Amino acid sequence: MMTLLSIAMVVTLVSAVFVVLRWPTYKCFGDTPLPTLSFLAILFTSGLDVGLIMFPLIDFQTYATEIDYSFASPLVIEFGFWGGLVWGFYFLTTLYFCAIEPRLKLFEMAPIRWIHNLMVIATCAFTAYLFLAYLPSYIEGIGAAATYLLVGSVIVLAVVSSTRLTVLRVLSLSSTGLFFVLIAFAWLGSGVGISGLLGIMSGLSDYLTNLNRFVLPINDYHGFYLSWWFAWSIMIGQFVARFVNGMAAWKLFIAILVVPSIPIALWFSVLYGYFAGAIPVGDSITLLMIVVGILFVINSLDSLTRLYSHNLGLTVDALGRSRYVLTHSGLLAGLVVLYQFTPLKIEWIGMIVIGLYVAIYGLVFSKRAELMGSASDAPSTSST
């Protein structure tokens, strides 16, 4: 599994670099273009989940003690798992769905369509499962019944939210704004000050000097993260591609790789201040973390439910609002339970998605003549 993951990492990242160097000014358009700020907010909140909020303080302890991570600080390791390079997956798939899929329609082929959407549903449920699994760590004393009730309510809210695009825009923008509020409050509560925060963030320069170490799996835990990114990559690319508003490929590259990494770097640096200084996280900040985490889960579930329901024709128009909410809420809740009580793992989902990559690469190469002969707005024939 690790060998396949390593090969997939190299091929995918090399492809992303090749595309942006070969067609830097190609204009990317989606079928529902949105203002850049809305696009970035949807990208950020759809492309991440509750793990961004809940994992770092736990991960820092692991990275500080295990020899595999001794080449850099826990802050750099965590950023390497969540920021920078790994967003290249999203860039590649977003560009694909803007430029190539409208011409080849590979995802309308029955085998790819069904496998892809089954993976979307499974990954959507995994997001809710993570929330279920880690919630007791953040709400001290919460009972099992309350945990299931809260997670169930979040699933229902996300499915209801997925019925209207305007809700997604408002939810994404407000979640992003509240995340920055969380960063500010957590920073003020840490007492590290401006110079302390800047000093911590300066340590992130080691990410660039160790960039090669994050291309291949460091160990099984890093492999888990990379499988997780692969599991998300195609579906997030398909989802956010519809909102791209004519950005040149190089601008889209920067928007996807650099812009989301800035708040991630800020957040991780603030949390690292708590970890390095052994500063306890206050109850008010913990509460705000939970609120933002819940909003991130709702955003992710909203986006993915909206995607697979559209792909499979299980929309509000087809089912009616009540049946739509009941069908998708029940499906996701059932899969959350499946994750909890069976050996089902996100690594398996990641491997299946890598298989989809293999199929897509093969089909694209087999149809390269069609691409070469297509209109000038296809990336294989356009340099503008």
Q: Confidence band (pLDDT; 50, 70, 90) for 260?
A: very high
Q: Confidence band (pLDDT; 50, 70, 90) for 130?
A: confident
Q: What is the pLDDT of residue 345?
A: 78
The CATH code belonging to domain 2-372 is: 1.20.1740
Buried b (16+ CB within 10 A) or exposed e, 140-149: eeeeeeebee
Distance CA 26, CA 377 (A): 8
Q: Which H or E run includes 27?
A: strand 27-29
Q: What is the pLDDT of residue 372?
A: 58
In the chain, where the domains are located: 2-372
| Section 249-264 average pLDDT | 94
| Section 263-272 average pLDDT | 95
- The pTM score is 0.87
Q: Please tell me the least confidently modeled range out of 62-71, 132-141, 149-158.
A: 132-141
Taking only the tens place, the pLDDT of each residue in 12-25 is: 999 999 999 999 99
pLDDT top residue among 61 and 371: 61
Q: Is the pLDDT of residue 277 over 60?
A: yes
Q: Is the pLDDT of residue 376 over 50?
A: no
| Section 79-96 average pLDDT | 93
Q: Confidence band (pLDDT; 50, 70, 90) for 370?
A: low
User: Helices 283-311 and 220-241 meet at what angle, rounded to 10?
Assistant: 60
Q: Is the pLDDT of residue 213 over 90?
A: yes
Q: Calculate the average pLDDT of the chain.
A: 87
Taking only the tens place, the pLDDT of each residue in 328-357 is: 999 888 888 877 777 667 888 889 999 999
Taking only the tens place, the pLDDT of each residue in 300-315 is: 888 888 888 988 899 9
Of 322, 268, 227, 283, nearest to 76 by C-alpha is 268
